[in-house]
Amino acid sequence: MPESSLTQTKLLILYMLDRVDFPLTQAQISDLLLTREYTNYVELSQALSELSEAGMVHSQIMQHNRTHISLTADGLNTLHYFENRIAEDTKLDIKDYLSKNKFALKDAVSILSDYFQDPGGAYQARLLVKDSGAPLIELTLSVPDEEMAAHVCNMWQKENQDIYQYVVNKLF
């Protein structure tokens, strides 16, 4: 695999992360770079791994093994130094994609749900909405089994706005 191609993939990842004010998931980065054929899966995986090892991106494993990736100061400095190596039409394509999909991309990393089994055998469904990285609402519900916990988490992804609005209306 040519070094220049791997370097280009790393720069595209850094460029994407610099153009948003929230982390992106590994799947979101893959979606753009693979569907537009800027890279292949093996190279993308290697680039993400090397960026993380070099401290240019921060990777955090979230719910159900979803990885959130954010740009570090070192990554930003590197991007600014080498950004001129990214073609202008590629930059425009990435900016356009991020602009058109900003709300969907942000929702994917701002609306979180996960569940776990507590020591008593019940399941806890943890539901969270973040705004600018800070919790907007956080709920933990105790449910009798794993199936119900998974269902609650799935419903949270669909109904969080209505639930949040209901809670706000009732409390304020």
**Which range has highest mean pLDDT (60-74, 103-117, 127-141, 144-158)?**
144-158
- At residue 74, the pLDDT reads 96
Query: Looking at residue 2, what is its pLDDT?
Result: 42
- Same structural domain, 86 and 20: yes
Q: DSSP label at 58?
A: E
- Mean pLDDT in residue range 71-94: 95
Residues 23 and 88 placed together within one structural domain of the fold: yes
CA atoms within 13 A on the CB side of 7: 10
Confidence of residue 111 (pLDDT cuts 50, 70, 90): confident
| Residue whose pair of structure tokens reads 């776990």 in the numeric block | 116
- In this prediction, residue 132 carries a pLDDT of 66
Residue 94's closest CA among 83, 107, 80?
83
Tell me, yes or no, whether 67 and 123 share the same domain.
Answer: no
Same domain, 98 and 64: yes
Measure the CA–CA gap between 74 and 80, rounded to whole angstroms: 10
Q: What is the CATH number of the domain that holds 73?
A: 1.10.10.10
Residues 102 and 133 in one domain: no
Residues 37 and 99 in one domain: yes
Look at the chain and report how many structural domains it folds into.
Answer: 2
Which segment of 67-76, 89-98, 107-116, 124-133 scores lowest on mean pLDDT?
107-116
Confidence of residue 64 (pLDDT cuts 50, 70, 90): low
Nearest-angstrom CA–CA distance, 64 and 50:
23
pLDDT of residue 22: 84
123 and 84 in a single domain? The answer is no
- Does pTM surpass 0.75? no
Residue 18: is its pLDDT beyond 70? yes
Q: Give the whole-angstrom CA distance, residue 69 versus residue 172.
A: 35
Among the candidates 59, 91, 108, a domain finishes at 108
Cα 71 to Cα 17: distance, rounded to the nearest angstrom:
6
In which domain, by residue range, is 70 found?
Answer: 3-108
Q: Are residues 82 and 126 in the same domain?
A: no
Q: Which one-letter DSSP state was computed for residue 154?
A: H
pLDDT at position 62 is 67
- Assigned token pair, 153: 């988490």
The confidence score (pLDDT) of residue 86 equals 94
- Residue with the larger pLDDT of the pair 153 and 131: 153
